[in-house]
Structure 1
Amino acid sequence: MTKYVRTNRNPLLAGIGITAALGLCLSPAVSAEARPAEKSPRQTVTDAYTGHVEVVRGTPEKADVLKGTVFNDRNQDSKQDRGEKGIAGVTVSNGRDVVTTDGKGRYELPAFENMTVFVTQPAGWQVPVDENMIAQFSYTHLPKGSPDELKFGGLEPTGPLPKAVNFPLAKSKQTAKAQQNCPIASDTQIYNLKERGYAREGAVKDLMERTDYAACGILLLGDNVGDDLSLNDALKDLYKHANGPVRTVMGNHDMDYDATSDAHSNDTYRRDFGPGYYSYDVGQAHFVVLDSIEYPKPGGKARQYNEKISQEQLDWLAKDLANVPKNKKVIVATHAPIVDHRFVIVDNAAELYKVLEGRDVVTVGGHTHTLEHLNAGGTRPEWAKDGVTKLPFTQLIAGAVSGGWYGGGLDSEGLPYAFAPDGSRPGVMTLNLDGNSLRERYTVRGESEQEQMGLGLNTPHWRDWAEKAQAWQKAKKVGEMPELGDERMVTRSELASGESWLMTNFYAGSEKARVEVSIDGGKSVPAVHTQPNQGEELRKGWEYSDTFAATRSLMTSGNVPQSGSNIWRLPLPENLAKGTHQAEVTGTDEYGRSFTKTLRFTVVDERPSLETKK
């Protein structure tokens, strides 16, 4: 069991006097975009090379059949030269049909308009990348281009079916290794260049400084930009110094909202990044990326969408998995998670689960900007009413690079603290794979892996203040902000009520995790997990808030968490003596990793008067 002990480095986030914290929130700061760009040279990646898919122009033998070869690009020039042999047994798909290459690496697929053809990278091989480290493994065939006049351009006409489309691969010892680190960067969601600066100086900077994911690369889990697809190039520039290939998922903010059909809602995305759904192998894991956004929503209003996996994708997925050994770990990545701690999100979740039945699966999503680990076997009435009586597979939700959409006050680094709806902080999830074993870890922006908790007191006084502060915000902050006083103070009468708790948001938590609290060096006492997914309904309200995050957002702006999958609480002992006390909180995740953090608080007879001095 690994144990980490953590102290706060950032005064705002340490929960020191609230006046000082608010001062830091509101103090002037140079915007992240205005800072001089730090040099971030492209790191040496052994197996990744700059290249592209080889499109051989000419007349095909059959107008409705696409042919090509998957080959060993030994000289890495993206062309199949004499002596460069084809690779047998590699999966290639047109998004409907799935075939494997013959002994000479050749494939044939039915051809149709508006198809994206892609190769499934096998373990032991690596697809090329472009100058921005975006993985190159697909070709889109759309002879006349996008049928709609799309604001952001869509797809230019590709012309007639080419004579062949060949997929270059390079041998890779790294992608063959059973041990892999696979960062999942969800919801970068830049709406403008200022937010690009926040991302660059925040969680993206952390990723660019890492050198541990060269083989697996980064998976951007959707909502990579915020509706303005002209920022796609700015997004690529953010990740171009990655230590491995960058692959993407399409989110609801990455699509062409002026498209008139779902078939073309991702045209600009396909132009800039590649197919909406595909698969690839790394180590002993099979990654499947699915498009979980249906747009336009049938019968819906303008800009409305469904979270849904299309039938075409479900049919393709069944064929894709037919080529995958049953004992192989399958990681299904979607922008909209299949479920979260509140409800089922994807409309046809039960149909997707049916296709995945009998497999060793973990699903990972973004979209909600929450950080969650929901274990297989969990039950909730909110899930059951949508046909999921028992969660069949573990669901991970990867947090967000943008946290709470870059909202809230600024911290001492000049970045929005951006607490998410569940109180989690901006960061990146990494999947650590070892054969079929998977462990995830979450790295909070600008922090070490030891930073895994938000701590605070939840008292009757705090709940009363929170209600008033939220009303003040809803009233557009007219008048004086309600005074809280010392957020780490509790009175004897509040202790006697039995309704004062020490709240812990354990970012690495799950139903199998535990949180224990020792006060003043005494015996450790287990805290209660507020949402264990054992048949209880959603527990939401001020009494279930992450007070650490909620306090700071109520004083400025941003999300005010009132529920979460990773919230634990412990009733404060009613007999605590007057004076200052120290709580040592230890969270142990389901993998046996322990993290410790302390919170000092004070017991008083009565609170000092909070009347504003005139």
Structure 2
Amino acid sequence: MQRRNFLKNFGLAGAVFTVPAAVVNAATPRKKQNVDVTNLTLKGRVHSNGKGIAGVAVTDGLNVTTTDKNGNYELLSSNTAEFVYISIPSGYAFPHEKGIAKFFYPINQKDGVFKSDFSLEKLTVDDRKHNFVVWADPQIISEKDATLLKTQSAPDLAELVKSYPKGTLFHGIGCGDLVWDHFELFDDYKQAIEISTVPFFNVIGNHDMDIDARSDEASSRTFKQQFGPTYYSFNRGEIHYVVMDDVFFVGTAKKYIGYLTENQLRWLEQDLAFIKPGSTVVVNVHIPTNTGAARRNGKEEEMGGTVSNRKQLYKMLAPFKAHIMSGHTHVSEKWQEGSIIEHVHGTVCGAWWTGPICSDGTPNGYGVYEVDGSELKWYYKSTGKERGHQLRVYPKGKLNTNPDEIIANVWNWDPQWKVEWYEDGMLKGKMEQRTTLDPWAVELYAGEDMPKKHKFVEPTITDHLFFAKPSAGAKEIKVVATDRFGNIFSDVIRMA
């Protein structure tokens, strides 16, 4: 304020004395810094075999319009816009390049008008039934990691697709941290997607950002070059899918918070305005909007562990049946409140490719979702394991703190599951749920020198462990877990 008044007074006195040359030079920009906000008209057509498709949402990332009855669109934008893209409508195949979804065009900002047509292929099957998978945190940092992704994870997904009836629709969500700051490995990630046989939509993670950027807006430069916009939507059957960027880079290498920018929220308001209330909306982010980590560890919430302004997102999702898909934490967790359920996924890389399990004992793997109309069913697919591998039972003595008890880890558990145990064929009732460490994770990851590959990895406290105390003479223990859909899974151990 003092400086502004000084300059004002200085100007009034200009007739009395001469402004020094140094001041004049300092006030003259050495290089043009103006941002070009000139109006830009985006126009084109969305069609299938030459026939226009009406009602398709088209956006520049700020405003949203829809195509007319002939499939034509026109949107007033500006030269600050980077992409024009569509929300792929239901009933059409997902355009992709070797598995990487292509629903956008980078904008050529020269002539005041940018014309782009989108050609879609109509599906020959009813897409109200379809499946999708969530790959959280492939997080490859080396060629060795990339080889594991391409020779284990990707073939596992390809085999899963083959296990379903021919023609079953699948798509994937790469839920962030596709690589681990090594952008040259994006090519390896793309090769893995091609091997998987599934078209993927991708989410930016904190390890997919340019950490030398001076601001959040600039930190997604490389990701956008590789995969396009960082927030967008698409449709399949009766489900509306949304991808958001909830990793806010604070301008210092590897520092970020969980946060949704106002531009994204404004865009989302417009995007959801075209969706009928009561519909199912699947929102995909990297950082979980919420977790129980603070509660489990008795600490305050970490700014980079959840989304600070998540309640604003929840308000927007309130009219819908919403599923939020996230990763980032390398553990499995679910929470539900009202019409919203969040699925925090165990990771493709497990505990950063150091062993066969995540830090909470969840196997390396991914979420699988089967859609029928507006309803979702799901299970967790452990890499290299059968679909029915949904729990692990530990014998007595695996945890020093509980030497007389057996322990079951049911990693895809939520409060609607039932976990029971049998002793020598006799039902003993429900197991007791406790919050503690997984025994195998302790064995693999606890201690200053473990694991050798990444010593920062530690076992983490989880809610999905269940305990029971067998009789002294028990010979066989069977644990039966029933999920919310009535599917029954079991594991048996023989007592020593």
Query: Which TM bucket (shorter chain)?
Result: 0.7 to 0.9
Indicate conservation of the 8 Å contact 1:68/1:165, yes or no.
yes
- The counterpart of 1:64, out of the listed 40, 51, 61, is 40
Q: Name the residue aligned to 2:400.
A: 463
- State the Cα distance separating 1:63 from its structure 2 match: 4.7
- The counterpart of 1:589, out of the listed 472, 478, 483, is 483
Indicate conservation of the 8 Å contact 1:458/1:547, yes or no.
no
The answer to whether residue 244 in structure 2 is matched with residue 340 in structure 1 is: no
- The counterpart of 2:51, out of the listed 85, 89, 98, is 85
Within 5 Å, which residues of 2 pair with 1:403-442? 403-407=350-354, 416-417=355-356, 419-442=357-380
Q: Secondary structure at the match of 1:503?
A: strand
The answer to whether residue 431 in structure 2 is matched with residue 527 in structure 1 is: yes
Q: Name the residue aligned to 2:325.
A: 364
Letter in 2 for 1:141: I
Letter in 2 for 1:271: Q
The answer to whether residue 346 in structure 2 is matched with residue 399 in structure 1 is: yes
Indicate conservation of the 8 Å contact 2:177/2:208, yes or no.
yes
- The counterpart of 1:234, out of the listed 157, 172, 188, is 188
The answer to whether residue 480 in structure 2 is matched with residue 576 in structure 1 is: no
- State the Cα distance separating 1:104 from its structure 2 match: 1.1
Instruction: Work out the CA distance in 2 between the residues paired with 1:353 and 1:104.
Output: 36
Q: Secondary structure at the match of 1:241?
A: helix
**1:106-152 deviation per Cα after TM superposition (whole angstroms, max 9, x unaligned):** 1111222143221011111124211x221111122375xxxxxxxxx
The answer to whether residue 62 in structure 2 is matched with residue 96 in structure 1 is: yes
Within 5 Å, which residues of 2 pair with 1:452-531? 452-457=390-395, 459=397, 462-463=399-400, 500-530=404-434
- State the Cα distance separating 1:564 from its structure 2 match: 1.4
Instruction: Work out the CA distance in 2 between the residues paired with 1:308 and 1:405.
Output: 24
Indicate conservation of the 8 Å contact 1:215/1:245, yes or no.
no
Q: 1:561 to 1:568 in 2, by over 3 A?
A: farther
Q: Secondary structure at the match of 1:523?
A: strand
Q: 1:63 to 1:508 in 2, by over 3 A?
A: closer
The answer to whether residue 266 in structure 2 is matched with residue 315 in structure 1 is: yes
Within 5 Å, which residues of 2 pair with 1:30-429? 63-72=39-48, 74=49, 84-112=50-78, 113-130=80-97, 132-141=98-107, 143=109, 159-160=110-111, 162-174=113-125, 176-209=126-159, 210-211=161-162, 212=164, 215-296=169-250, 301-343=252-294, 345-376=306-337, 393-407=340-354, 416-417=355-356, 419-429=357-367
Letter in 1 for 2:42: L
Letter in 1 for 2:341: T
**1:140-168 deviation per Cα after TM superposition (whole angstroms, max 9, x unaligned):** 2375xxxxxxxxxxxxxxx5555401111
Instruction: Work out the CA distance in 1 between the residues paired with 2:106 and 2:465.
Output: 45
Worse overlay, 443-452 or 547-556: 547-556
Instruction: Work out the CA distance in 2 between the residues paired with 1:445 and 1:258.
Output: 34
- Hey, which bits of structure 1, 4+ residues long, moved more than 4 A? 159-162
Instruction: Work out the CA distance in 2 between the residues paired with 1:347 and 1:69.
Output: 39
Instruction: Work out the CA distance in 1 between the residues paired with 2:428 and 2:359.
Output: 29
Q: 1:123 to 1:216 in 2, by over 3 A?
A: farther
The answer to whether residue 463 in structure 2 is matched with residue 565 in structure 1 is: yes
Indicate conservation of the 8 Å contact 2:206/2:247, yes or no.
yes
Q: Secondary structure at the match of 1:566?
A: strand
- State the Cα distance separating 1:552 from its structure 2 match: 3.5
Q: 1:585 to 1:106 in 2, by over 3 A?
A: same
Q: RMSD of the alignment, in Å?
A: 2.2
Instruction: Work out the CA distance in 1 between the residues paired with 2:291 and 2:39.
Output: 46
Q: 1:327 to 1:313 in 2, by over 3 A?
A: same
Letter in 1 for 2:95: P
Indicate conservation of the 8 Å contact 2:424/2:477, yes or no.
yes
Give the TM-score, by structure 2 length: 0.83
Q: Which runs of 5+ in 2 are unaligned?
A: 1-37, 295-300
Q: Which has the higher contact order (CA 8 A, sep 6+)?
A: 1
Q: 1:434 to 1:188 in 2, by over 3 A?
A: same
**1:282-323 deviation per Cα after TM superposition (whole angstroms, max 9, x unaligned):** 1110000000111125xxx43311111111111111110000
Q: Secondary structure at the match of 1:332?
A: strand
Indicate conservation of the 8 Å contact 1:454/1:504, yes or no.
yes
